[in-house]
Amino acid sequence: MLENQGATVHLTRTTNSTNSWGPCVWDRGAFGAKVKADLMVSIHGDGAKANGHGFHVIAPVKIKGWTADITAQSRALANSMISGMKASGVTPATYLSSPLSLRRDQSTLNFSDVPVVIVELGNMRNTTDASRMSATPGQQFYAKALAAGITKYVQVRH
């Protein structure tokens, strides 16, 4: 989707296997700068209580010497992701007061040198979210929503 719009997309993983994991969080964090990316979106599934569902976005807080140079643009990316995903029909997490979480304890965020967010697409313990995340139609639904958020950020930034 993004490539069809002219974007260059780099993935840290080229397969989706239960027998494969990684790379480590500090390698993920450094990945965006390594490939000279303009931004990085780390895609995850949350593990909240089974009765909660929906997505949320995690952005870094300002940490001198670590994230201070990317905090403002990471927050803009987070807000664009939330807006784009909501507009695409993805429900914000029902188990949080806000779809935006600001964290200082996430190595993927702290090791990044490009604007970065973690998107928790859904709750793996919720049967509806888990089914959507693991089936091709649901994965396409999420891919379109992620692309909408990324596109919004790029349009706002330029």
pLDDT tens for residues 103-121? 999 999 999 999 999 999 9
Q: Which among 43, 23, 102, 99 has a CA at the least distance from the CA of 67?
A: 102
Interhelix angle 136-157/71-87, rounded to 10 degrees, is: 130
Judge whether 18 lies within some domain. Answer: no
pLDDT in tens, 71-84: 999 999 999 999 99
Domain of 150 in residue numbering reads as 24-157
Please give the tally of structural domains in the chain: 1
User: In which band, very low, low, confident or very high, does the pLDDT at 18 lie, cut at 50, 70 and 90?
Assistant: confident
Judge whether 80 lies within some domain. Answer: yes
Question: From the centroid of its chain, how far is CA 64?
Answer: 23
Average pLDDT, the chain: 95
Cα separation, 128 vs 118, whole angstroms: 21
Judge whether 117 lies within some domain. Answer: yes
Using the predicted structure, report yes or no on whether residue 96 has a pLDDT greater than 80: yes
Predicted TM-score (pTM) above 0.85: yes
Judge whether 17 lies within some domain. Answer: no
Report pLDDT for 16. 74
Judge whether 48 lies within some domain. Answer: yes
Report pLDDT for 25. 85
Judge whether 114 lies within some domain. Answer: yes
Using the predicted structure, report yes or no on whether residue 88 has a pLDDT greater than 80: yes
Mean pLDDT confidence for 86-106:
98
The dihedral built from the CA positions of residue 92, 93, 95 and 96, taken in this order, carries a sign that is negative
- Choose between 14 and 125: higher pLDDT: 125
Q: Which residues of 58-78 are buried (b: 16+ CB within 10 A; e: fewer)?
A: bbbbeeeebbeebbebbbbbb
Mean pLDDT confidence for 55-76:
98
Unique residue bearing structure tokens 């069809």: 4
Judge whether 149 lies within some domain. Answer: yes
Cα separation, 13 vs 25, whole angstroms: 13
Domain containing 88 — which CATH number? Answer: 3.40.630.40
Judge whether 98 lies within some domain. Answer: yes
